[in-house]
Each structure stands twice: as structure tokens, then as C-alpha cells.
Amino acid sequence: MTNAISLTLKIWRQKSPHDKGRLETYPVKEISTDMSFLEMLDVLNEKLTLDGQEPIAFDHDCREGICGMCGAVVNGRPHGSAKGTTLCQLHMRHFSDGDTVFIEPWRAKAFPIIKDLVVDRSAFDTIIQAGGFISVNTGGAPDANAILIPPDAAEKAMDAAACIGCGACVAACPNAAAMLFTGAKISHLALLPQGRPEAARRAINMLRTMDELGFGNCTNERECEAECPKEISIVNIARMNREFLKASFVSEEK
């Protein structure tokens, strides 16, 4: 049912990485409950623009929950309170008339704030570059059906591969750990026969890079799993730890 609600927004404004930043208050009126959260921010930005103020900078792109570009901490929760939902797929019907809504960027040492709600997540790319791939050049691959993969393994690999790299896991974790993100990629590839030859090297290199980039460690808080918009399981962290231990003890890769 379409309704219109009014809200008080408390939004983090920060001019640049070195600016101190602060929460600013913005009232918004007549917000249709059919709108998405980002459309609500669009409405505010249109108003700010016409009032001669600078709109709020926020990242977004596909607006259908798959690109992983959007994300903000809403009332203390990454991507807001709806389960398994990215910010762009959070709809205003989850809010009530008169609510005060706090909107802040991801906060983590490894994700420096660029402006307002926009953060730098290039550390995730760096982790993938450390080994989140299978080393095959283009051409010369065997026939696709030459490698048999039990559907169960393919399904588990797909569960892990569904990660959209949004960074909510890092934002949710009290240690700002990237274990769920890294574990998902290591699991995806370790579960498939194609990924086994490099599994040890991958686990060691990706984990080392993750540490060097300033992400914290896992202390089993499970916040990442609770907030992940793709509901990636922390089983993937356990699997990563197994891969890492195996690699450390058994493998010649160091």
C-alpha cells in the first residue's frame, strides 16, 4: 500500500578524507513508501540542489542489488535492517512516519572515506589480485564437460561466489575484518577441481595481503553473516582457515 511518510535524516557529511566530518540533520517530507532508500536520497538531493546546497555524495549503480556499489550504515546496520537486502533494495515501507534515520558511511581503517557516504574499497581489488583467480590463459581450455563437478560442490561454490564485494561484512565487524569476503572467494575456488592446483598459494597470499591492508581478524562475532546482503555463510571463513592451515603446514608455498 502506498503511503507517504516524513522522516528526520541524520546524515554523515565529510568534505574530504582529511575533513573531520559531522552528522547533519535534514527533514524529508512526503516520501512514498514504494520508494527505495536511494530514491529517497535522490529526492533529498534534488531539493538540496534547488536550494543551492551541495547534494550528498553516495555510491550506487545497478539499483537491483547485484553490483555491490551501494551501501551505507542505516541506524547502525550496514544496508539497513532488512535481511538479505542491499541498500538499493531497501524500501521505505520498512520505515514509519516520524522516524529519525541515521545514515553513515562504512567505517574501517582499510576503507578510507572519500566524501560523505563514499568510501574507497580498492583494498578488496588488491585482495583479489593477490590470488582470487585461476591461472588460465584465454584459449586452450579443455571441453567444458571434460571436468565433472558434482552438483553439490558446484552449488556450494556458487553460494560463496554470490558475494557482491559491497563491504558490508567489513562495516559490520567490530574488528573491521575482511574474512567473509576473502573466505568467500577462497572457498568458491577451493571447492572446484579447477581451483585446487593453486589452492595453497591462493590461501597464503590472499590472507597475507588482507592482513597487510589493515583489515582486522575474526573473533567469531558473526556480524558479517547477519548483515551480508547475499547471506554468505561464515562456513566460508572456516573453510578458508582450513585451507590456510593446510597450506601452512603441508604446502611448500610460504
Number of chain residues interacting with another protein (CB under 8 A) = 78
> Which of 110, 130, 131 minimizes the C-alpha distance to 121?
110
> Rounded to whole angstroms, what are the CA distances from 234 to 39, 175, 223?
32, 15, 10
Q: Torsion-angle region of residue 139: left (phi > 0), alpha (psi -120 to 50) or beta?
A: left
Tell me how far apart the alpha carbons of residues 77 and 228 are, in angstroms, rounded to a whole number.
11
Interface stretch with another protein, choices 142-150, 171-179, 218-226, 235-243 (CB under 8 A):
142-150
Tell me how far apart the alpha carbons of residues 160 and 187 are, in angstroms, rounded to a whole number.
6
Sequential DSSP letters for 36-103: BHHHHHHHHHHHHHHTT-PPPP---SSSSS-S-----EETTEET-SSTT--GGG-BGGGS-TT-EEEE
Map the footprint of another protein across residues 42-101, applying CB under 8 A: 42-43, 46, 48-50, 52-55, 57, 59-64, 66-69, 82, 85, 89, 91, 93
Contact status: 133 vs another protein (CB under 8 A): yes
Contact status: 250 vs another protein (CB under 8 A): no
Tell me how far apart the alpha carbons of residues 173 and 111 are, in angstroms, rounded to a whole number.
13
**At 135, which amino acid appears?**
S
Q: How far is the CB of 162 from another protein (least distance, A)?
A: 7
Q: How far is the CB of 198 from another protein (least distance, A)?
A: 10
Contact status: 24 vs another protein (CB under 8 A): no
Contact status: 18 vs another protein (CB under 8 A): no
Q: How far is the CB of 15 from another protein (least distance, A)?
A: 8
Map the footprint of another protein across residues 204-243, applying CB under 8 A: none
Question: What mask of x and - would describe binding to another protein in positions 192 to 211, judged by CB under 8 A?
Answer: x-xx----------------
Q: Which three cell numbers stand for residue 203?
A: 590461501
Contact status: 147 vs another protein (CB under 8 A): yes
CB of 31 or CB of 218, closer to another protein? 31
Contact status: 20 vs another protein (CB under 8 A): no
Interface stretch with another protein, choices 19-27, 32-40, 218-226, 246-254 (CB under 8 A):
32-40
Q: How far is the CB of 220 from another protein (least distance, A)?
A: 27
Interface stretch with another protein, choices 73-81, 100-108, 120-128, 231-239 (CB under 8 A):
120-128
Q: How far is CA 76 from the centre of its chain?
A: 15
The DSSP symbol for 194 reads G
Contact status: 149 vs another protein (CB under 8 A): yes
Contact status: 29 vs another protein (CB under 8 A): no
Q: How far is the CB of 230 from another protein (least distance, A)?
A: 9
Return phi, psi of residue 5, to 5°. -125, 160
Q: Which three cell numbers stand for residue 49?
A: 540542489
